[in-house]
Structures are given as C-alpha cells and as structure tokens.
Structure 1
C-alpha cells in the first residue's frame, strides 16, 4: 500500500503538470469552456468544484499549486490521511471543472483516492511513521481493502461485459478497428496493423483477459502466486496498450492501481535484491538513508496476519459502524456498475444516484465498448486570411493541405486535447464548437506576426473504416465557422 501511495502521488503530480500547460484553455473563462457555459450545458447540480469559484487564471493556478503541495505531502507520507482527502477533493474538483476532457483513467485515479482515505497506506515508508514503532506484523484486512480489491476487479470485468458488439464477441475485429483509428494509433500499433489474423487472436485474448483475469484476485489458495500473476499480466497488458494506442496516463494509473496487490514474498525478495543494508561511510546515499530512522533500510514490507493499524482516535470510534458503512458503499458501487449491464429492472434509479454524483463514485468502464468507433479522421483548422490565403492553424499556420498526415495523433498536444476533439465531434456536443473556434481565433490574434484572419473553419476530414483494410473517404465536414 505504501508503494501504491507513492505511485499514485507521482501520477497526480504528472497529471497536474500536463493539465497546467493548458490552464487557460481548459479551466478559465478565456478558454474553451467558460463557467457560464459549463453551468448551462455540462453541469450536474449534485457535483461540486472549487475550480468553479473563479474563471481567472490566477485562481486556477493557486488551486493547482495547492493540489501539487497535497500530492507532495502524500508522496512523503506527511499527514497522510489529510493529504489523501485533500488530493481527492481537488482531483474531483478539477475533473468536474471540465468534464469534456475526462477519460477512464481519471475515474480509476479518483476511485483509488476515495478508497485510500480508509486505508493505512501511510503506515510505512512515510514521514508519519517516523514517530511510531515499526509494526510487528504487516498483513492488513478490512472493509476498505475488500473495497479496493473489488474495485480493481470491477474495472476489468465490467469493461469486458460492456463489450457486447460482434467485433468483440464473434467477429474478432475490434482491435483491427481500434488500430484503424489514426487519432490514437501509436508506432507499436503500426507494426501490428497489417497482421489481420493476429489481430483477431489478440481481440479474443483481450476480451477473455479482462473477463477472467480478476478471478485470480479471489482464489483462497496460493494467494501470493495468483496475485503476482495478476499484477504482472496487468502491467504487460497496459504496456501493450500504451505502445499501440494513445491512451494518455491510463497505463501509469493502471500500473499504480495494482501495486497494493503485490504480495509479501515478492516484496521481500525485491528488498533483499535492491535494498542492501547501509554501511557506515557509504557516501551520500547512505547518509540519506540514515536520516530516515523510522522508514528503515531495508524497508520493511512484509504484511502478517493479526496487525491492527494505529489510527487517529476519531477513526477508532465505532469501527464496526465504519466497516458497515464501507460495505454499503461497496455494494452501492457494485450496483452502479451493473447499470447498463444487467436487465433494466435491476439498474439503479435516478433518485438513488445523488451519492455517486456528489462524491464522484460514479463510474463507467466502457473502453471501446460496446463496439469500436468506425468513424475516423483528422482536423484542419482552416483560416482564411484577408489576402485570400488558406492557413492550417493546426499545423502552425502552414498552407492548407487535405492530404492525410503521416501521424494524426501528433496533431494533438496531449491526451486531454485528443479527448476534447473526440467529444467535439458528437452532434450532442455541438454547443462546444463555437467556443473552441473563437478561442483559436483569439490565440491567433495575440501573436502580432500572424496575418489577420477573416474567417476560421474547424474542418474534420472524415474517414470510415471498413473491413479488410478498406476505407471510405475522406470527406470534408465543416463543424464550425466563426469570424473575428
């Protein structure tokens, strides 16, 4: 759990770093989603967001700095529970501020922090542990750990059950269609794409891996072995996805999420190999280790059977009630996940959803489900200058060309913009279009070296993927036009 805490904190810092490069664009009133538009078009009245207190850049920067400070505190294990709560609140807040750039990895990161509020993941390898004796035993079981394990299982089982299209269940063409999407195609995907029969095998392997692999988490015999297998397969699975498809931080979030499942024998073995005892005069690294007396080196990782963590007094009150509440929350989470999978009579009715919306335990693991998009293409931000030239703002103002670029994914600054461009396409989100168009015009005018534009067209060059490497298109679609 300590490893997972540090990994999650590192991911939070990386996520904040990436988001901060688009602070104005995604979180202020000068960007693509001003506050009044958010409240009018994309807001759930049960949600909360500290980031909606102001549309000014300075206010957003202050909240980002606060979130970074909380993540550093979590990484060091300083006031761990408080830093966990603060990190969770600020993560929910920033996700609610702009839901048009949120993807599945964000849901997983949010749920990890939610369950971790009730986990003792600051008991070792933490600043908090320095003032406390090393625990005699390290195996820990509670309603919170059960919720954590079940949550990991739900991610994979639900995404498999939601994959109901024939491309997954019978035809075996889902990965072929996924790699046909140039918007997310990575170099590894280019290598696999020509091998049609191999892609069919990988499709079925992916589906049954997601569906059956979580069973390993609940086998009561040889538990360390099965959990080690689960962690290694998940790491390899997501590494393969990240090499073939552009999924942002999903790979790192998923890798961090299963660190808490690593069993004691594996960690003890790593400790013996990677953590030799510090000798006197061992140089700067040795002196650094010696300044962490309660963290100890080799770092103690073994978890044994009857240890009960020492926690703050208010968390010792009515532990049975606390565990009962957690089990109810776990049942609520499982029920939420059944929505869309079970028959309509068993789904959750809207009046019961308020808790999920308020605390953002709502989740949907429909990655490439129920089927894979067939519509593909790329954007051309076609600006018309006053002297008649046509420039592509998506390529730094170069002359417009309708030729397909070699790497479509390279047109996106990061995965947040890729997700935004995906949502931008949907007819139900057509309200987004003029705000993005006018944002681009304003940014273009801010550079005095850019020639004045009399019109900007957001153009989508649409291709439709067909079986056996056939493609329909491209066709030029103007999604939005705006003038200065």
Structure 2
C-alpha cells in the first residue's frame, strides 16, 4: 500500500503539471468552458467544485498549488490521512470543473484516493512511519482492503462486460478499428497495424484478459503467485497499450493501482534492495547535514518538529470505531457494486435516479466503458481554417501555415495533450453542440493576442471526417464545418438617427 501511495501521488503531480498548462483554456471564464456554460449544460446539482468559485485563472492556479502541496505530502507520507483527504477533495473539484476533458483513468484515480482514506498506506516509506515507529504487524485486513481489491476487479470486469459488440466477441476486429483511429495511433500501433491475424488474436486476448484475470484476486490458495501473475500481466497489458495507443495518463494510473496487490515476497525483496541503497547514500547525507546544521542553528530553525499526541483511545473505543468504519465502508462498497452492475444494464438490479445522489456527491460514480460497446469509428482530423482580411486561408492548428486538406503525417501530434484530444472528441458529438462557439471564439481571441499574427475576419472549425472501414479500406475524407465564428466589429455610428433623448 505504501508503494501504491507513492505511485498515486506521483501520477497526481504529473496530472497537475499537465492540467496547469491550460489553466486559462480549460478552467477560466476566458477559456472553452466558462462557468455559466458549465452550470447551464454540464452541471450536476449534487457535485461540488472549489474550482467553480471563480472564473479567474489566478484562482485556479492557487487551487492547483494547494493540490500539488497535498500530493507532495502524500508522496512523502507526511500526515498521510489528511494529505489524502485534501488531495481527494481537490482532485474531485478539478474533475467536476471541466467534465469535457475527463477519461476513464480519472474515475480510477479518485476511487483509489477514496478507498485510501480508510487504509493505513502511510505506515511505511513515510515521515509518519518515522514518527509513529514500526507497526505491530505488516499485514492489514479490513473492509477497505476488500473494497480496494473489488474495485480493481470491477474496472476490468465491467469494461469487458460492456464490450458487447461483435467486433470484440466474435469478429475479433476491435484492435484493428482501434489502431485505425489516427487521433490515438502511436508508433507501436503502426508496426502492428498491417497484421490482421495478429490484431484478431490481440482482440480476443484483451477481451478475455479483462474478463477472466480478475478472478485470480479471489483464489484463496497460493495467493502470492496469483498476485504476482496478476500484477505482471497488468503491467505488460498497460505497457502494451501505452506503446500502441495515445491514452494519456490512463496506463500509468492503472499501473499504480495494482501496486497495492504486491505480495510480501515482492516487498521483502524491495526492502532489502532499498536498505542496501540507503546504506550507500546515508554517509553522504550525514555529511551534508553536518555541513548545514551550524547554519540552521544560526537561523534558529528547529531540526525536529514537536508533535502533540492525542490521548490514547481505550481498547473498547478503538474496537467500536474500527467496526463502525468497516460497516460504513462495506455499505459504500455495496453501493459501488450496485452502481457498476447497473452500468452493465442488468434490469433486475436497476438503480433508480433518486438513489444516485450519493454517488454524485462523493464521486464514487464510475463507468468503465473503454472502447465499449464498440470502438469509435468516426476518425479524422481538424483544420482550423482562418480567413485573413487579405483573403488568405491559414490553419491555426498548424501555427498559421496555409490551409491544406492533405492528411497530416501524424494526426495525434496535432493535440497538445490527451486532455485536448478528449475535448476534440467530445466536440464532435451533436449533444455537445453548445460547446462549439466557445472553442471557436477562444481560438480567435488567442490568435489576435499575438501582434505578429495577421487579423482574421472569419474562422471555421472544420473536421475532415474519415470513417474507419473494414479490411484496410481507405475512405475518402469528407469536409464537415462544425462551427463558424467572426470577431466582433465595432459598431458604425448611424448619422441619420435621432439623438438618444428623442429615441
């Protein structure tokens, strides 16, 4: 669990770093989703977001810094439970602020933090461990550990059960269609794409890995070897995904999530090697500390922080609190299992709308429909066709180069990061038509903020649609104009109109 804590904190810091490059674009009123649009079209009344208290990017920056501070505290294990709570609250907050850029990995990341609120994942490899000393035992069992393991299994079971299309279950063409999507195609995928038989085998291997492998987590004998097998296969599985498809942090989140399943034999090996490494750098660290200690004393900085200890709980109160906590976690776990069963369309277990408020409020709502029920086939690429006042056509997607309708060498490279790729995917849906003018006007504004750019009198967001066809057929792209916007022109005075007082 300690190893998972470190990995999850590192992924959150990476997520913050990626998101922070788009503070204005994704989280401010000057971006693609102003607060009034969020409230009108995307808001769930049961969801809360500190990031929605202001449309200023400066306020967003402060909240991002607070989340980063919580993640750093979580990484080093400093007041771990409080750091977990702060990080979870701010992670949920930023996800609620812009649902148009979310992906399946975000659901798993916040669920890991939620269950970790009830887990002692700060008892090793942490500042808390140095303060509290070694625990009485290194194994731990509670309702939260069961919830964590069940949650990992649900991710893969549900994504397999939701893959109901023939291309997954009978035809074996799902990986072929996935690698036909130029917007997510990585170099590794290009190497595999020409081999139809291999792609068919990988399709069935993917489906049955997701469907059957989680059962290994519940085999009661030879647990060590089954856990090692599960973690090893999952790492190979997600590493393969990362080399073939552009999925952002999805593969890292999944790889971090299974570290808590490592058995004692793996952790004992890691401890021995970490201890050996510590032996090598400890003399150097001691020498450096000896050098700075006089300076710290001169500045009157304490080397140790005093910690106030709470009065010890009686054994009876501790037993009562532990059982209340386990009961609460068990109820939430049952709710989460019910939610997931409903997501795979089991009519006998249907969860009515009034019961969903709890899931939305605490963000334990989840849906694992990755490439399900079928692979998305509306492939293509964007052209941001800006017309200058001189009549030239420039592509803002390619830094103002002349517009060309030739397919780019790498469609994936057009996207700044996976958040923008997900936004561009949602931009296509007719149900999200409301978001199109805001993106178009945002592009116009940032273009005109650069004085070296020629002024535009018109911008068209064009999608070159290229439907993925079977058997390596190459369709002819069709040009679809999704949005047209023009910069506001100052109103010309009407010299023939009457004075205001007479109108």
Superposition TM-score, scaled by structure 2 size: 0.90
Cross-structure match for 2:323:
320
Q: Shift of the alpha carbon at 1:342?
A: 3.8
Task: Give, in whole Å, the separation in 1 of the partners of 2:282 and 2:123.
Answer: 27
Relative to 1, partners in 2 of residues 1:477 and 1:74: Cα closer, same or farther, differing over 3 Å?
same
- Displacement of 1:343 after TM fit? 2.8
Question: Greater Rg, structure 1 or structure 2?
Answer: 2
Which deviates more from structure 2 when the two are superposed, residues 275-284 or residues 436-445?
A: 275-284
Q: Which residue of 2 aligns with 1:451?
A: 454
Match of 1:4 in 2: 4
Q: Distance in 2 between matches of 1:253 and 1:286?
A: 35
2:477 is aligned, of 463, 474, 478, to 474
Map of 1:369 onto structure 2: 372
Deviation of the 1:375 alpha carbon: 1.1
What is residue 420 of structure 1 aligned with on the other side? 423
Q: Given the alignment of the two structures, is residue 348 of structure 1 paired with residue 351 of structure 2, yes or no?
A: yes
Partner of 2:226: 226
Look up the match of 2:132: 132
Q: CA deviation at 1:284?
A: 1.9
Structure 2 unaligned residues grouped into runs of 5+: 291-309, 488-503
Q: Structure 2 CA distance, aligned partners of 1:465 and 1:146? A: 42
Q: Deviations over 1:150-194 (max 9, x none)?
A: 000000000000000000010000000000000000000000000
Q: Please tell me whether the aligned partners of residues 343 and 367 of structure 2 are also in contact (alpha carbons under 8 angstroms).
A: no
Report the alpha carbon displacement of residue 271 of structure 1 after superposing the two structures with TM: 2.7
TM-score (norm 1): 0.93
1:405 aligns with 2:408: yes
Q: CA RMSD in A?
A: 1.9
What's 1:195 paired with?
Answer: 195
CA distance in 2, matches of 1:178, 1:281: 47
For residue 279 of structure 1, report the CA deviation from its aligned partner.
5.1
Give the equivalent residue in structure 1 for 2:175.
175
Deviation per residue, 1:109-153 (Å, 9 max, x gap): 000000000000011111112122212320100000000000000
CA contact (8 A) 1:280 1:286 kept: no
Contact preservation (8 Å) 1:122, 1:128: yes
SS class of match (2:474)? strand
Distance 2:312 2:444 in 1: 54
Task: Tell me the residue number matched to 1:296.
Answer: none
Task: Give the corresponding residue for 1:381.
Answer: 384
Report the CA distance shift for 1:289/1:103 in structure 2 as closer, same or farther (over 3 A): farther
39-48 or 122-131: which moved more?
Answer: 122-131
Structure 1 contact 278–289 (Cα < 8 Å) conserved: no
Contact 1:385/1:454 (CA < 8 Å) preserved in 2? yes
> Is contact 1:70-1:83 (8 Å) kept?
yes
Measure, in 1, the Cα distance between the counterparts of 2:311 and 2:425.
45
- Per-residue CA deviations over 1:289-337 (Å, capped at 9, x if unaligned) read 99xxxxxxxxxxxxxxxxxxx9995976532121111111101000100
| Unaligned runs of at least 5 residues, structure 1 | 291-309
Residue 215 and residue 289 in structure 1: after superposition, are their counterparts in 2 closer, same or farther (change >3 A)?
Answer: farther
Shift of 1:448: 0.4
| SS in structure 2 of the partner of residue 436 of structure 1 | helix
CA contact (8 A) 2:216 2:230 kept: yes
- Post-superposition shift, 1:441? 0.2
1:102-181 paired onto structure 2 within 5 Å = 102-181=102-181
Deviates more, 1:110-119 or 1:312-321: 312-321
The answer to whether the 8 A contact 1:337-1:363 is kept is yes
Residue 366 of structure 1 and its aligned partner are, at CA, apart by: 0.2
Which residue matches 1:442? 445
Distance 2:191 2:311 in 1: 52
| Count of paired positions | 465
CA offsets 1:70-108 (integer angstroms, 9 cap, x no match):
111111111110110010000000000000000000000
Q: Deviations over 1:262-303 (max 9, x none)?
A: 01011112333453175599642576899xxxxxxxxxxxxx
Contact 1:279 1:286 in 2 (8 A): no
* SS of match in other structure, 1:457: strand
Residue pair 1:278, 1:286 contacting (<8 A) in 2 also: no
